[in-house]
Structure formats: C-alpha cells, structure tokens
Amino acid sequence: MIILVINCGSSSLKYEVFAMPEQSSLGKGLVERIGLSAGKISQQAQGKSYDKVTEIPDHKVAFELMMQALLDPQKGVLSQPSDIQGIGHRVVHGGEQYSASVLIDEDVISAIRANCELAPLHNPANLTGIHEVSHFFPNLPQVAVFDTAFHQTLPPSAYLYGIPREFYDKYKIRRYGFHGTSHRYVAGIALQMLKRSPENTNLITCHLGNGASITAIQQGRSIDTSMGFTPLEGLMMGTRSGDIDPSIIFYLEERGFDFHDLQNILNKQSGLLGLSGISSDLRDIETAAEQGNADAIETLETYAYRIRKYIGAYAANLIKVDAIVFTGGIGQNAIKMRERICNRLENIGIHINHEKNRKVGGETGIISQDYSPVTILVIPTKEELQIALDTAQIINPELQTVVL
C-alpha cells in the first residue's frame, strides 16, 4: 500500500510517500513560498534530488508541481497517480470532537471548518489541502490525523482553567494541547525499546524544537500537556514566550502597546530570541554562551529551568515515572541542553550518563545511568510516519503493520 502524507500550510506544502506495511519512505518534498513569484519545490527520493524555482500563485499550482515531481521519469517516486492508495493529512485542531484519526467525510470537514476559529493560522490551510487532494484524487480515501487528538484523554482537572465556567461552556476555552502526533509516536517507540506494555508504563515525553511541549503519559494516555488553548502556553520556545503572568499584557496595553503588536511580540519576538537578543536557534545561543555572553548564559539556564519545572510537576502527578523521552530538533540533537535539563533531577530518580549522552548524539538510544530508576531516551520523532500508519490502518484494518 502506497500512502501519501500531506502537511498543508498557508504558504507551504510538505509531503512524503510511504510504502506500507514496510514503513519505508519512498521520497519527500517541500513546496514553499506559495503565493509569491519566486516559489520553490525541492524533493528528495532515493538519493535523487528534484528542484525547481517558479511562480506558485496558489495551492492548486503547488499540488500540480508536487505531482510533476512525484511522477518525474528520472527523479520521481511514482510511475502513475493510481499507485497512491490513500492520503493522510496533518490537521492541527480537532477540538473536542475527535480523540483519534478518522476517515474524512463531510462531517469531518465541517468539524475542521468549525475549529478554524481555534486554529486560524492552520485549520484553513489544512482544509485547502483536503480540497486540493479531492480535486486530484476524487475517489481516494483521505484520513485526518489531528495534533490535538492524543490529548483528548486529559481529565477536567488538567484541561480546565480557573476562569468562569461559562467561558468553557460557551466558547470552549480549555487546554487542548498540540504536538500530539509526535508525543504518541515517540511514546510508542519508547515502549518497544523498553519491551513494556502501556498498561504498566508512565512516560514524560519532551518535544523540544522551535515549538516545544511536554506531555505526561499514564498507561498510554495523555493526562497533561504543557501547551494549552493555543500553542503559546507552556515552555519557553524559539520565539514564543510560554507561560507569563497575564497581567503583563494589560500592563503593556496601558503603556501604548497595541493588541496586535503584543500578539506578535509574544508569538514571534519572545522565547529564546527575545530573551537572548541573539537568535531563536539554540546553537547560536550556545556559541555565544561559550564566548561568555551573559544574556546567552541566562537564556540557556532559563530554558532548562522551565523544562525541569514541568518534568517535576508531571512526575509528582504520575507518582511513578518509568522513562523520559527527548525528541524534536533540540531534544534530539542538543547534547549539552539535555545535560542542563537533567541536572538537579537526580532527586526524582533521573540520572543521565554523560558518556552515553554524547555517544548517542542525535540518534535513537538510552542515555541514562544503568542504575537510574527512570530511563532517559532519545528518539527522533517521525510524525509523517505516524500519519501514514494511521492512514493505512483506517483504510485497511487488516493490514499487518504496527500502529503506534
């Protein structure tokens, strides 16, 4: 079974083709700068590169370019469009309606549209992807894989805010959580590595990248997660502030800051970038810290401290933690940051092995001491593969594959 995975953004289109049940990637690509005159498509497939710069006025043209690349006789992936048997979409927000991936029909499309007000930057683009796929593949089954679905198992004590209940009842203001597909994927791999079943295993998964979130997983179910009503809550991130005192917004408004300016500041000018004044890229900040830059040093310490706070809080609620997983661009590759985070966590049974940590680097592996009660793992996330797994299983429930 050949599955095409689509991640459609407002100005970009990411895609990857998988052979199932082998779980092998046949090729992947990116169409970027949609809506601009100097658009670009780049594709990597079995050691061959396909690149083209051209005007990409809309998503229809973007999908046409994707199909041209996939079907290219020399550098393509497919021999004909009918090779594709199913299509999986990353959809950011499923609201409270969906706690699992689903076959797309008119009801699902209506729900995605209704949740556009909760994810105005993402759900409309996701809907565009579904619409364009329907144009190119009118008879193929499509599956929606929601970022929020994994977190629909949160109990009310974790998802409710301490605000008037009518705001939840009327406006559905609550913690939704994001990165659910990534947290679910690495949790499944962790269980395989540890040879454990979800029923007797508690995990804390740390997805650390430009966007970052931490999830507490009890017996295979998400019971708390750091992102909230929007992806702005929680950890300090590349350009997002994470948790702040809400009164800061009112304080700045009284001093002349416009609402839209504040929204832009908190989402795009804060976090690692804002605090360091250097970059949103952790590597640049670490380089500056090594050169003695005081702001860079404080930024690294603050970033690690915030993550430790969440790990400690989730460990308290889980009571027993069997493993911690690091994933995402920073979690997977930032060796020194993993050490900073784990420092001072020995009192709750988290003991990192510095030699193993350096040796594992950015690959999959265990980086904890042999005597550590809590196993520490590094697992590269593969959200596209998880989407392909879900899609294949929904289209053909009898397909013999491991669904994470």
Q: SS3 of 390, please?
A: helix
Token code pair at residue 292:
């003695």
Is 371 in a helix, a strand, or coil?
Answer: coil
Among 51, 105, 147, 295, the one annotated catalytic? 147
Q: Can you list the alpha helix ranges (DSSP code H) found in 32-77? A: 59-70
Closest CA relative to residue 90, chosen from 11, 158, 179, 199 = 179
What are the residues facing 327 on neighbouring strands?
207
β pairing state of 221-225 and 212-218 = antiparallel
Respond yes or no: is residue 322 known to be catalytic: no
* DSSP-H helix ranges across 195-327: 247-254, 259-268, 271-276, 282-290, 294-318
Distance (Å) of CA 404 to CA 186, 327, 390: 9, 16, 8
The span from the CA of 234 to the CA of 60, in Å, is 36
Distance of CA 206 to the CA centre of its chain: 11
Cite the active site residues.
Answer: 147
